[in-house]
Amino acid sequence: MNDTTSPVLVADNITVRYRKGRRHFTALDNVSVRIPHGTTVGLVGESGSGKSTLAKAILGLVPVTTGRVELLGEDITHLTGRRRRELGRSIQAVFQDPNTSLNPSFTIRRSLIEPLKAQNMLGGIDVDGRVAEVLTAVGMEPDAAFRRPRQFSGGQRQRISIARALITNPQVVVCDEAVSALDLSVQAQVLNLLTDLQRERGLSYLFISHDMSVVKHICHEVTVLYRGVIKESGATRLVTTQPVDPYTRALLLAAPIADPAMQRQRQRPTTAGAAT
């Protein structure tokens, strides 16, 4: 985690403007994030702050107006074609809604091997071996491959979405609200799984959430985004215990606290903080 480690992913001064009819809307204004190898960097902010836009800019799904995206030391900002596809193996994503990665009418196997197809990786590998390996890695039985999404709970579907992200052996996984739709106890299990996978595989995560309490659990560093602008960033412990920006304090106050004693303490007027 120290600064001399070369980062696996760098987003440098990213600005994204969307066209809205004849007008432009700046969804991200000079946003920079760097992810050191093997770490989890959080991106937190309320709905509409631009989190998914940054995820999409990094994944090459929306064009960057200005700025630079670097993956494993290579500038991929405007990269297309074969090289982009090759590098795409190194970065995968998990989204909030498993329906975006698991087609309800496909078997799990068919959805799992889609990234392999997209990356031209089906030839010369033991596809079913790989499917079984990633399912096992996320705590599922290999025969899940032959069932369909509706036969699984929300938590299991999200595990399968993670398996799908792992199948190309990526180094970076972008998790965009990956646990946000899950119940608290299931959230905790999936967060533990992500942490275990990071340790076992040396994965790096860009972990996006609107929920500070989730970010606190899993992220080494955190960047706070508000209306497309970075308000604060740094080591999670520092940002969450000594926030300098009123918006960060407001986010911390909005985060649900599992411990009832802490909850009571937070409700005392003296500890409520300046921000609302």
CB nearer to ligand ADP: give 53 or 198: 53
Alpha helices in the chain (DSSP H): 51-59, 81-88, 108-112, 114-118, 127-137, 154-166, 184-201, 212-218, 236-241, 246-254, 260-267
Options 5-13, 40-48, 154-162, 232-240: segment touching ligand ADP (CB under 6 A): 40-48
For residues 76 and 60, give the distance between their C-alpha atoms in angstroms, rounded to a whole number.
8
For residues 137, 192, 177, 157, the Cα torsion angle rounded to the nearest 10 degrees is: 40
**Restricting to residues 18-57, which ones interact with Mg ion according to CB under 5 A?**
51-52
| 42 contacts ligand ADP (rule: CB under 6 A) | no
Give the chain's largest Cα–Cα span. Answer: 64
Q: Which of 53, 161, 223, 248 binds ligand ADP (CB under 6 A)?
A: 53
Beta bridge partners of 18: 25
| 60 contacts ligand ADP (rule: CB under 6 A) | no
For residue 18, the partner it binds in Mg ion, ligand ADP, none, with Cβ less than 5 to 8 A by kind, is ligand ADP
For residues 264 and 259, give the distance between their C-alpha atoms in angstroms, rounded to a whole number.
9
For residue 50, the partner it binds in Mg ion, ligand ADP, none, with Cβ less than 5 to 8 A by kind, is ligand ADP
Q: Which of 15, 18, 87, 213 binds ligand ADP (CB under 6 A)?
A: 18
Residues with Cβ within 8 Å of residue 110, at least 6 apart in sequence: 103
For residue 27, the partner it binds in Mg ion, ligand ADP, none, with Cβ less than 5 to 8 A by kind, is ligand ADP
Among 89, 94, 87, 92, CA closest to 193: 94
Nearest approach in angstroms of CB 120 to Mg ion is 29
| 48 contacts ligand ADP (rule: CB under 6 A) | yes
Nearest approach in angstroms of CB 97 to Mg ion is 11
Read off the tokens for 259: 């411990």
Nearest approach in angstroms of CB 48 to ligand ADP is 4
Positions touching Mg ion (CB under 5 A) are 51-52
Positions touching ligand ADP (CB under 6 A) are 18, 20, 25, 27, 45, 47-53
